[in-house]
């Protein structure tokens, strides 16, 4: 698997005001739960596959999947991994649990309703933490980043796959046009790298653009 080295993010390094709170997220994904796989499963498939393939290739057994959603990624983990999945949405988790039961996915240790910004896991409890299409959903992305650093052991790995805002062109215009609808959508169309990563934090990271059309990016940071 090949990655490109990250360049420092440009623009204002202060994290933008979220506009979302935890209740907004719960309400939005209560609506999305029944159609999430149909609406987003296809367009997100490349990114999920690449993220799980990257996790499978890394050393370490215990994996935290933050924002596990309906469990679309769960069948892809290697048999050697033991996965703990968390999500804020009870409705999404219900579908994830049904998927685990129906497909008899043995790699899943547990699925829990929990805020990824404030978990009850011990420091360094996991070898790897991965968040797929979650960073632009949570109210305080840097708290998510801090929490993933806390629960991953030194020498472990943190991975994100997410949409990050364009800096120009038609996509830039579309993202900013949709931005006022963030609360209804349950995610931020104009989500920037600096909303998630503190200044300098991407210096040692690896970035890999994801199909379709580089709309998503896989970010890999060593802990």
> Following DSSP, what letter does each residue of 184-210 receive, concatenated?
HHTS-TT--HHHHS-TTTTTT-EEEEE
SS3 content of the chain, % helix, strand, coil (to 5): 35, 20, 45
Distances (CA, A) of 195 to 12, 61, 158, 192: 10, 30, 17, 5
Predicted pLDDT at 4 = 36
Q: What percent of the chain has pLDDT over 90?
A: 53
> All domains of the chain, ordered by start, with CATH?
5-9+14-222 (3.40.50.150)
> Looking at residues 162-179, what average pLDDT do you find?
54
What is the distance between the alpha carbons of residues 25 and 22, in angstroms, rounded to a whole number?
A: 5
Position 72 pLDDT exceeds 80: yes
Q: By mean pLDDT, which of 8-12, 58-62, 81-85, 144-148 is the weakest?
A: 8-12
Say whether pTM exceeds 0.75.
yes
Position 49 pLDDT exceeds 60: yes
**Residue 32: pLDDT band with limits 50, 70, 90:** low
Q: Between 159 and 189, whose confidence is greater? A: 159
- Distance from CA of residue 109 to its chain's centroid? 19
Predicted pLDDT at 110 = 98
- 31's tokens: 């609506």
């Amino acid at each position: 698997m090949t990655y490109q080295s990250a360049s420092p993010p440009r623009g204002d390094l202060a994290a933008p005001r979220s506009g979302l709170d935890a209740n907004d997220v719960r309400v939005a994904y209560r609506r999305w739960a029944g159609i999430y796989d149909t609406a987003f499963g296809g367009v997100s498939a490349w990114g999920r596959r690449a993220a799980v393939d990257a996790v499978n290739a890394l050393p370490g057994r215990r994996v935290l999947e933050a924002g596990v959603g309906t469990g679309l990624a769960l069948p892809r983990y290697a048999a050697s991994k033991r996965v703990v999945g968390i999500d804020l949405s009870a409705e999404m988790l219900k579908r994830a649990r049904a998927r685990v039961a129906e497909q008899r996915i043995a790699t899943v240790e547990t699925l829990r309703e929990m805020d990824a910004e404030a978990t009850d896991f011990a420091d360094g409890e996991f070898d790897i933490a991965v968040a797929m299409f979650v960073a632009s959903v949570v109210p305080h992305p840097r708290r998510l980043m801090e929490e993933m650093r806390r629960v991953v052991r030194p020498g472990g790995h943190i991975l994100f796959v997410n949409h990050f805002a364009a800096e120009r062109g038609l996509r830039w215009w579309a993202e900013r046009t949709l931005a006022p609808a963030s609360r209804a959508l349950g995610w931020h169309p104009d989500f920037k790298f600096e909303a998630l990563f503190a200044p300098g934090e991407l210096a040692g990271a690896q970035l890999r653009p994801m199909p379709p059309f580089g709309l998503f990016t896989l970010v890999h940071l060593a802990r």
